[in-house]
Structure 1
Amino acid sequence: MSLDSHSNLWVLGGSARHRERMSSELASWGLEAVGIPDPPSGLLDSQILDPEPDAERLAAFQHLGKQRKSTGTQIILASTRALTHPAPSPLQLESSLLHLKAGQKCDPDALQQQLISAGLEEVSQVHARHQFARRGGILDVFPTQALDPLRLEFFDLELDSLREFDLDSQTSIRRLNHAELMLSAPAMEHKVGDWLADTDTIIALEEGIKNASLIFTDNPSGGALMLEAYGTPFSHFNAGDFVLQGAQQSTVFHHIDQWLAEQWTIYIAAGSEGERERFRELAGTHLPESNYRFLDLSIPEGFVLRTAKMAVLSLGELLGRPQPAGGSNRLRRLEKVRSHAAATELDQLNEDDLVVHADYGIGRFRGLTAGENGEEELSIEYRDGSTLHVPIDHSHLISRYVGVGGKAPVLSRLGDSRWGKVRKSAEAAIMDYAARLLRTHAERDSKQGYSHPPDSRWMWEFENSFPFTETVDQAQAISETKADMESSQPMDRLICGDVGFGKTEVAIRAAFKAVTGGSQVALLVPTTVLAEQHWRTFRERMSDFPIRIDLLSRFRKPSEISDTIRGVAEGSVDIVIGTHRLLS
């Protein structure tokens, strides 16, 4: 299959989680993909529309609009129904954009009036989409389609610089040479399919998609356009299996020998020279390097293309430590939280609050003062009236005092060695507690747990019947929970989240996976009302499948309770939901 320089590659099918993972893996291969999210469906009148999916859709169309003006192939990921969803035309999209470039002539007053006329809300500080804030020669604006807000700095009537900035910390992220403001969303009078050119190519991840040039499937029904794509036989490997167990090594080399005998091409994906060298040592004389080729990249899982006689093996998968897709995004979010933790803590401090300095102990916060160089400093009062001035960039050493028992602590004395002794004692107690935790986890890891089978066809259908698009964190929680269930190690996972952020769906999918794998599920809830709510939610969610879900609570009749208990004992009840009665 070949593409000219002006054609795009459309990959249609799979779940939203699958497409997000595919985008991450394509990035590992050095390929950029644009995902077009589906519009929200099944929204109730009482629910508030989340602006993020719409912003992502508009940003995707904006990216496609730029691509139409340049050469190069663009990869587009979308659902099977995406081509029929509403979309703006390229002309409508272009007419809704305001182009800005650093160094151009631009009147900030005229731009401010243009934002007001477009319906943007003027605020003192931007904290949401469709808002702008003006502070002299600086204008912050969060356009409809942008993933991050923009900061425009003017020098008289010249646009001096453009920057993206972080909504939480209000600090700049990166400098831009040009930017496009979508002041109002364009009319959605066309379909996504209208963006599909005659020269574009469609790859389908499932059957039933019209005009597909190629279909990837693991359950082919025949046809010249279908390409069977499978995972490798080594996806069940745990850490150490390939290195420590001779039987597992023999399995790997046996499969590779069979492939080589049939004239297959074998690739080993390894992200570093150290990994490649380690594989050479493990392969030894079993597999000469002339029989395979290294790929300089890290992918979470390998794959097999039987028709093409090609196998791509992930070294991380062989070693039992595949890297989950989207890990880099998670690390970026963690780094963002760490970098702004100090600023958040300062925002929560009030004058006279008790605080703890890591080096000097407990003091009383007296507010912010100007230092010798005019920079702000934190003033902390200690015993005997001594005051410590802490620069803002050292504020990470300060935290709010959290005590127990309601008794006010004694302030530390500057220059006293007592705080150092208290800190060392606390550190020793923490290390002792950490050692006990490690010992507990080591004992737990040494035990053999129950390994649930991989996802079935029913699981795929069930996940795709979810009427909403999973959030990134929700998709991650689901993926990691399922991975825990398939592992032979005992599961030990706590999922936390605010009300309405999708914890129940994580539990529903875990329960469905367990039931379709031949197990029964008990869901313990704290209150009778919550048990009733979960019972109804589980039944509605699994109504398309032959799964029996019963309830144990004081709202049930004695005959119903007896029938449920008997069903649990006989195995006819797949899922039972209840309060503490479950334990009696």
Structure 2
Amino acid sequence: MPMDFDPVNLNLSILSEITNTSVPLLIENILPGARSFLAAKLFHERKESVVMITTRSRIDDLFEDLASFLGFPPVEFPSSEIDLSPKLVNIDAVGKRDKILYDLYQKKAPIFCVTTLKALLEKTRSPKDTAHQHLDIQVGDVLDPDIMIDLCKNLGYRHETLASDKGEFAYRGGIIDIFPLSSQEPFRIEFWGEKIISIRPFNPSDQLSTGKVSQLSISPATKDSGTEVLSHCLLDYFATPPTFLFDNLTMLEDDFSDISGTLSSLPNRFLPIQDLCQRAFQSQTIFFEEKNFPNVRTIKHNTVNIEVFHCDVQASRLVAPFIYPNEILDEQTNPLLGFLQKLQEYLPSQGQPFNVALYNTKAKALKEARALIETLGQNSIHIYEKSGNLSSSFALVNERFAAISLAEFASTKVLRRQKQRNYFSVTTEEVFVPIPGETVVHLHNGIGKFIGMEKKPNHLNIETDYLVLEYADKARLYVPSDQAYLISRYVGISDKTPDLHNLNGSKWKRSRDLSEKSLVLYAEKLLQLEAQRSTTPAFIYPPHGEEVIKFEESFPYEETPDQLKAIEQIYSDMMSDKLMDRLICGDAGFGKTEVIMRAAVKAVCDGQRQVIVMVPTTILANQHYETFTQRMAGLPINIAVLSRFSEGKALKKIFEDTAQGNVDILIGTHKLINKNLEFKNPGLLIIDEEQRFGVKVKDFLKERYPTIDCLTVSATPIPRTLYMSLSGARDLSLITMPPLDRLPVSTFVLEHNEETVSAALRHELLRGGQAYVIHNLIESIFRLGNTIRTLVPEARIAVAHGQMSSDELASIFQKFKDKETNILVATALIENGIDIPNANTILVDHADKFGMADLYQMKGRVGRWNRKAYCYFLVSHLDRLSGPAAKRLQALNKQEYGGGMKIALHDLEIRGAGNILGTDQSGHISAIGFNLYCKLLKKTVAALKNNSSPLLFNDDVKIEFPYKSRIPDTYIDLASLRIEFYQKIGGAEDAEQLDFIKEEMRDRFGPLPEEVLWLFALAHLRLFALQHNISSIKGTGNALYIQQRHGKTEQIKKTLPYSLSPTPELLVSEVLESIEKAFPLKTPR
């Protein structure tokens, strides 16, 4: 291959014409890709700042095009949206604006800035004020932590327990965490005395550090009330005037018409357009126009008088020398080949090779392009693969160069490269931290109420933390903090608060004994079901064939690690001799559909078996049909869809084709549950959104086809399904990591009023997006649609509800997808099956009337792209919101990414467990609580799998030494955080987990005090004891007292010589050495 070259190094004749022009320049006949190329070329040549003004709808494509040619991403200067409502100011945008302004004030290197008219006209603080309101620190600085805390408060940062959102900070001991508005991640600043010794970015999800930096600039987080008197703008921050590039002048004129009313009505927030024109036109200004600019008044030679934003401008006129595919192509069987052949006709027969740079190079598209280009001859064309993306192709004949966007020509659509991953993911289980007043269950003492945490001396007169529980008759139990793991949240079968047990009473013992027997029987039943499926003959799929490999290569995105893991787990299941029964759990938009399509293609192409895809709604069935059809185009796969609108001859035809094996994949709703529907060779059942189906519906096909593989898919699985997976009785694949560049959805719970509705919708429309408004009352939905037309007259509104015909709904959704309408007012029928990346605002009216899973699904309709998304849960009266509805909305307001499983569990806590594990188990769940029941069930299943007897209520260990082992409040001052770490340490299952927790504490709170080191040492001894059936280890000044458990009741007691160890490390090594010499410890329990 020839050596690589950079297109911006080409010598362009047009540059001299641009350089020699002193007045504004109008360049016509220049399409998006060519505009970005020329803009990047100007920046590299002049090495001065450039401001390129575009529309909100164009900014993402322009950003990608420019990054491809510049070799780095430009900076985006956004609008803060202050004009809509101070409540809805975009803090991400405020942070971006502040960072750019501060960087310019510091006179850093020239920048290439992409912005909009509205953002550029929005007023700013003066450069001097901006400088004074930033805090710059670096490693080695001497700064009193208390002074820095005051500085953070003065900058407007909110003090919180954890810094997990922008504008928050937290401090503990010698560590300050802060999430600057201008950053995509928070930072941890560690002090040694008054010296900064470390600055580390960290993940807000798990609070763990992810690297190190040497310096940090902290921008202000004060909220703009909209009344501050401002008089400056972005242009005041440039040391020398920048070059101004106006991207597509006609579109910018339309954009100005849309926002001119806003600009003139808020003179304290925006500069007059005439001020911008006056300042810009005194600098080098270039207007780009795709064809011919219509607002030309007079023409004289190469000079024109034009009207731009109501301003008269005299400009030079230039026609760009670019050639585009649509200009020279006739009808071609292959447009790419035709484009290159046409270009060759323009070239002399002898000369230098033609250089072709290929962009959007997805593997399959690149392979196709190479094969085509090679037919033209290697000597005449040199191919260069570029890593960037390009929205449109162009060629410069004189420079013998073409930039090709394979997205325009490839048979498989190639999508934009995603730039970065945001730190949002979840774990499968949350650490339980009780809240004062909350009902809890103690493993040995039953149902009580958590009162709080107290510090007092223990029986050895050593200061200890205790979790205080209250029982019947106000009796209190003081639980040592190292036994916090014995406490779990109580969830009954309903939301009714249970009676507290009597401390030391017999009721809890009876409940435990009955539950233990029930748990063993239920676990045996689950394992029998698993064994039955494992002994049922399963079809063993062969290794991947050509079609499966081709399908994988055609995927236009980069898979997330979680997606890849789930796909590999499914393939492994399918190629084993065991029937597949797997739950795939992942949030909306996390790529579950692609995962199930991989399984479907393998079933059809490698196994010649039919696939059944069962979905809850007609909309989702049609969406899947469209997605499957598009993704599987070119493969020998026949796909059909069956819904409530399938009837007559069409229905009969589907039934016949399916029975004959002519349908490979049948996607359907409940209509699939039909005794007259026969499959010739069913191999895979996929149940999507399984929480929407009853047990009988789901089991119908499983029972009818007992040898069928099964995939269950959900964002918020019903707890029965989830807990069967978490207990180990069912296979589980988690997709908790968002796709690259995906941003969390900002969620608001607000009162429904016209100001909020108008501001939220206008905010979305002004950035070129679309919005949903959910209103679940058909009798008043059209009235709401008319109200919105009055509030947002520029909107194009459609209304949809479930009583419309299939053709009518299909037409409405297609127009919304094609952007013919930009606000869809609909009932909850859109909660499944609508996937519109450009729709990133959703308003849910009467949100308190919906269930939690429904609300979470609706929230998942937005945020499916790399643009910030907003979800507004609207209620009639916030002050009257209480009970389960308030808890649901509060839980949803907290959740960001990957929270579907947590939402399912929160819903369980609010509503109660009911009979999700069967009526015969509901009494035991009520007696000991659902969380403890499932925790013990998991332990029982694991024990039975290992052919050992489960010890459910007798496996705790007492470790007692005269050391001060606790988490001092001077180290972690917040009681709830101390409880969280007591729970983590007590719940660790091996030494590796303990070491991880120790490092987490070191990272988040600084060096571990001696008391904490002793706490970890005793926790190591507890783990060792659990693994070897030891029930008690007690150390005094001269002896070790050990009890080892044999069976459920028998204990072996030994006393060993011992002197107290001086350090935690020696304690562990010396005690373990003594025990190993005295006891036979060959086989851990």
TM-score norm. by structure 1 comes to: 0.50
Q: Which has the larger radius of gyration?
A: 2
